[in-house]
Amino acid sequence: MEGGAHTASLVAWSGFALALIFGVVGSKTNFCTMGAVSDIVNMGDWSRMRMWLLAIAVAIAGAYLLQAAGLVDLSRSIYTSPNFAWLSFITGGFIFGVGMTLGSGCGSKTLIRIGGGNLKSVVVYVFLAISASMTLRGLFGQFRVSVLQPAAVNLEAYGFKGQDLPSLLAGTGMEMNLLRLVVATFVVSALLGFVFRDREFRSNPNYVTGGLVVGLLIVAGWYVTGHLGYKENTETLEMTFFGTNSRAAESFSFVAPLAYTLELLMLWTDKSLTATFGIMTAAGVIAGSFLYAKASGGFRWESFANVEDLANHIIGGILMGFGGVTALGCTIGQGLSGFSTLALGSILTFAAIIAGSAATMKYQYWKIMREP
């Protein structure tokens, strides 16, 4: 397995390097998915949402170009499975949206804030990781597996090979490679048209840079795990994805990897556990954010304002851990990596996250207005 160990190490350290860039760019451009929702709800400002949508458009274009070139097979990811777990996507996504609002940011923003000295985000990280671990294999997992997961549609029984939009439209009679190109081009064009029709967004280099770079990093993640990490296992002689926890092609995601990080730290002497792509990307975002904060003079320690603030962040972390694992990803995992595959579940989760976050913000505003 020496060759496999080398490949896994290459995948993991490549993930760290990419995430380092994510941490720097995310800090500089203030790339924040919760902030994007907040700007719309509270100010009617769509600029940061356009940055998120630009990242999605770039990620879709890049991912489908990789597939067209035969470098990555998106059908080998967790997002495009024909098992359409609709209740898990809706419930998990909505709960994650509530949690990220209470916790002052999604998983990626939590990591970025830790790098900048935010102690509140350290607390969110710990409770998110514990909750995600409990949802993967612990107490919360029982509810996820027995109640939410059974509510699913097996698309394969209806003749569909996956839940990605090209597979769902395969009955049109168009050749699959051409169909993928047509669908991806249509979606990307629609997103780019919406994003760049706004003059204020076009004139802001930070927003444009943030969307472009984050989108390209998602594409690079697919290339690393789906191409560089896809090698023959010398023991089984089967093609294997090395360096990922899912044993499939992955890109950025920041919920389950935090649980795997916690597991690795707690069971460090267990030689069966290694630093994977997901674990190293989480560490890389913190490192990149720290470097940017130090270089820009923005590093400062920040703690809780009061007990209620602490409680909100603890609850937010727990909800994000449960919701993110249940929905198979967060604002980055489903909202970018999953969306780039054009999986129906990822699109549904994306909408549910926004709905959960917006509803929580409106409730918080209503609560403030009722205070004497």
What the block records as the tokens of 131 is 């909750």
pLDDT in tens, 215-256: 999 999 999 999 999 998 888 879 999 999 999 999 999 999
C-alpha triplet 130, 365, 56: angle, nearest 5° = 60
d(CA 354, CA 333): 14
d(CA 226, CA 77): 9
**pLDDT at position 2:** 59
Q: Which residues of the chain have pLDDT under 50?
A: none
- Give me the number of domains the chain comprises: 1
Range of the domain at 72: 2-370
Q: How far is CA 137 from the centre of its chain?
A: 20
Q: Is 263 helix (H, G, I), strand (E, B) or coil?
A: helix
**pLDDT at position 347:** 98
